[in-house]
Amino acid sequence: MKRVCFVLRVKQDLVEEYREAHDVWPEMRAALSEAGFRNYSLFMRPDGLIVGYFEAEDPQAALETLGKTEVNARWQKNMARFFSAGSGDLQKGGPEWLEEYFHLP
């Protein structure tokens, strides 16, 4: 299982609205699981910086599988307005992937 971490940025004036709107739909949760995402977590600073973490056997394949689903297209469309300068939009730049350099199992 590979561990993956990334950062995104929500527009600061929309942070609270984003938190309220971020009730993940059951069908999106199912699509994430079916695509191979495990232990998926999101953390946010008050200024809108999001740090995300997930595990997958093949993270790229999981992202590609999820990207082909209709529910992901709806989710992305619903959430796009919250992100700064294409952050979070895999077609316009997507997340900034972080390199793991230390792990204590």
Walk me through the domains of the chain, giving residue ranges and CATH numbers.
Answer: 2-95 (3.30.70.100)
**Range ranked top by mean pLDDT from 5-14, 35-44, 95-104:** 35-44
Mean pLDDT of 43-71: 94
Structure tokens at 60: 């790229």
pLDDT digits (tens, 9 = 90+) for 63-104: 999 999 999 999 989 988 898 765 555 455 567 888 898 999
Name the percent of the chain lying above pLDDT 70: 90
Please give the share of the chain, as a percent, with pLDDT higher than 90.
64
